[in-house]
Amino acid sequence: MRVIICGAGRVGYGIAAHLASENNTVTVIDVSADLVRTITTELDVRGVVGHGAYPHVLKQAGLESADMIIAVTYSDEVNMVACQVAHSLFKTPTKVARVRSQPYLEREWNELYTRKDLPIDIIISPEVEIGKAIRRRLKMPGAFNVVPFADGRVRLLGVRIAEECPLINTPIRQIPALFPDLHAVVVGIEREGQIFATDPDDSISVGDNAYFISQADHAPRLLKIVGNTTEEVEHNATKKTRHVVIIGGGNIGLYVASGLENTSSIRIRIIERDKKRAEHAAKNLKRTVILNGDALLAELQEEADIQNAEAVLCLTNDDKTNILSGVLAKKLGAKSAIVLINEISMQFISSELPLDTIVDPRATTVSSILRHVRRGRILDVYTLSDGQAEVLEGEVLETSSLVGKTLKEADNVDGIAVGAIIHDGQVQVSSDSRTIKQGDRLILLTEKSAMKRVEQMFRANINYF
C-alpha cells in the first residue's frame, strides 16, 4: 500500500513507523525540515518538506498514485484541506484526517463530511480516543488496559500479574476447569518486554502482563479472581461519591472532565499551569474546580485534596511533568495514578516507578488507522506493545478458509490465539468445539509475524492451512 502522511510529529511518526515496518511505501510531509530529516533517518520512509495542503507538495510526494492520505498535522484546517485536495485533484481512494477541535466533531455537523461536501472518509481524534480509554480504566480498576470489542459485549483486559494471583503456573488449558463459570481466556502474555500469543500449555508468572478476552459482564469477576480487585478498590469503584484530580486542562483533560461531570457523584479538580487554558476550562466545565498553578508543587496538589483522590490523571503535553506529578500524587496519598506518556523510553523508565497505569497515545491512534488499513473483513483492531501484537475482530466470509473449521483448528496456528466467537449475536469465549460459520465474528490476538496470515483468514478464496 502506498500511503502519504501529512505531519511528522508524534502522531505522524507513530503511524509511519507502524506502516513502514509492514513494508508499505510511506512518504511523510512536514513544514519542518528537522522533523523530516529525523523521520527519514530513523525510519524507512521518504520525506518531503512543504505544506501538507498545497497541491504541488502533495504531487511531489506522489499522491497521484497513493492509496491513502493520512493528514495528522497540528492544524485541523490543514488536515481537512489536504483531504479535499486529495479528493478533488488526485482522486485518492481513502482520506483520513485528524480533527482535534470538539466543535468540528459535534453530531449535528456529521453530514458535512461527505464526498459532495468535505470528503473525509475517516476522522480520527486521538484526544477523544485517549479520553475514552481513560474513562474505561476508571470504571475497571485493577486492569491497566480495557478495550471493547463486539459492540461492547467483549472486553480485552490487560492485567499485571501479582504474587496473590491464583492462576500462577497453571496451564491455560486447565483454567476453565478451575473456574467453569468464568467466560474469559488468556490470549497473550507480555514477559520481559516481549509479547506472544498463548498456547494451551503456557502458564502465567508473577510480573507478567497478561491479556484476557472476557465476556463484558464477566470482567469484574475476572479481576477479582486474578487478585487485582481488592475490597478497597471495589468499594471505591462503586461508592456514590468519588474524587478525581486531573493534571492538565488541555483537550484531553477537558474531554475527560466533561465526561466525568455526567456522573453526578464524582468530584473533579483540574490543575492547569497555563492561565488562559485554565480560564478556558473553567468556561467550558460546569462542576469542575480549576486550580491555576504548577502540579509539581505539593502544596497545590494538597489544595486539590489529592490525598483523598481515588485517581489522579496526569494528562499534560509533557511526559516528565506527567511522571513526576503522578509520583508526587501517589506519595501524598492518591490511590492510583494514570499517566499519559508519549515517548517509549519514558514508558520503560516509568515501569520502575509507583505509577499504576501508563497510557500510550500512539497505540490508540495507530489502532484507529489500522482498522482501515488491514485487508480482509477486519472490523476492529487494537495494537499492543508498540506494534508487537494486535487484537482484532474479524468477520468470516462465505468462501473463507475458516468456514467449517472448529475454533480449536483455527487456534492451532503459530502466533495466533483465538479468544471469542460471536455467533448469531451470542458471545462464546474459549469454545474449542464450536464450528465456524459464515457471518461469525472472531476476536483473536496475533503476533506481528502472523498478521498476513490473519488477513488471509478473513479474505475470500484464500487457503493457507
Tell me the pLDDT tens digit for each residue of 423-442. 888 888 866 677 888 889 99
**What is the tens place of the pLDDT at every residue in 39-97?**
999 999 999 999 999 999 999 999 999 999 999 999 999 999 999 999 999 999 999 99
CA distance 334 to 357: 13
Q: Give the count of alpha carbons within 13 A of 173, CB side only.
A: 7
Per-residue confidence at 350, pLDDT binned at 50, 70, 90? low
**What is the tens place of the pLDDT at every residue in 182-216?**
889 999 999 988 999 998 899 999 989 999 999 99
Q: Average pLDDT in the 448-463 region?
A: 76
Higher pLDDT, 144 or 365: 144
Percent of the chain with pLDDT strictly greater than 90: 45
For the chain, which residues make up each domain, given as ranges? 2-124, 241-359, 364-457
Structural element, H or E, at residue 367: helix 361-373
Q: Judge whether 321 and 295 are in contact, CB under 8 Å.
A: yes
Is the confidence at residue 461, as pLDDT, over 60?
no
CA distance 24 to 27: 10
Per-residue confidence at 326, pLDDT binned at 50, 70, 90? very high
Non-local CB neighbours of 262 within 8 Å, separated by 6+ positions: none
**What is the tens place of the pLDDT at every residue in 107-121?**
777 777 777 788 898
**Strands 426-429 and 289-292, how do they pair?**
unpaired
What is the four-CA torsion angle of 444, 448, 453, 454, rounded to 10 degrees? 30
Q: What is the pLDDT of residue 42?
A: 95
At which residue does the C-alpha cell 473525509 appear?
120
Is the confidence at residue 237, as pLDDT, over 60?
no
At which residue does the C-alpha cell 518531503 appear?
48
2-124 and 364-457 have identical folds = no
Query: Backbone phi, then psi, for 358, in 5-degree steps?
Result: -105, 130
Q: What is the pLDDT of residue 463?
A: 46
Q: What is the pLDDT of residue 465?
A: 41
Q: What would the grid cell of residue 425 be?
A: 449475536
Reported CATH class of domain 241-359: alpha beta
Domain 2-124, what fold?
Rossmann fold (3.40.50)
Task: Classify burial at 345, counting beta carbons within 10 Å of its beta carbon; exposed 0-12, middle 13-18, buried 19 or more.
Answer: exposed
Per-residue confidence at 347, pLDDT binned at 50, 70, 90? low
Q: What would the grid cell of residue 298 be?
A: 505539593
Higher pLDDT, 239 or 208: 208
CA distance 418 to 405: 13
CA distance 175 to 163: 17
Per-residue confidence at 122, pLDDT binned at 50, 70, 90? confident
Is the confidence at residue 232, as pLDDT, over 70?
no
Q: What is the pTM of this model?
A: 0.83
Q: Average pLDDT in the 263-274 region?
A: 88
CATH architecture of 364-457: 2-Layer Sandwich (3.30)
CA distance 380 to 417: 16
Residue type, 56: H
Is the confidence at residue 238, as pLDDT, over 60?
no
Task: Classify burial at 1, counting beta carbons within 10 Å of its beta carbon; exposed 0-12, middle 13-18, buried 19 or more.
Answer: middle
Mean pLDDT over the full length of the chain: 86
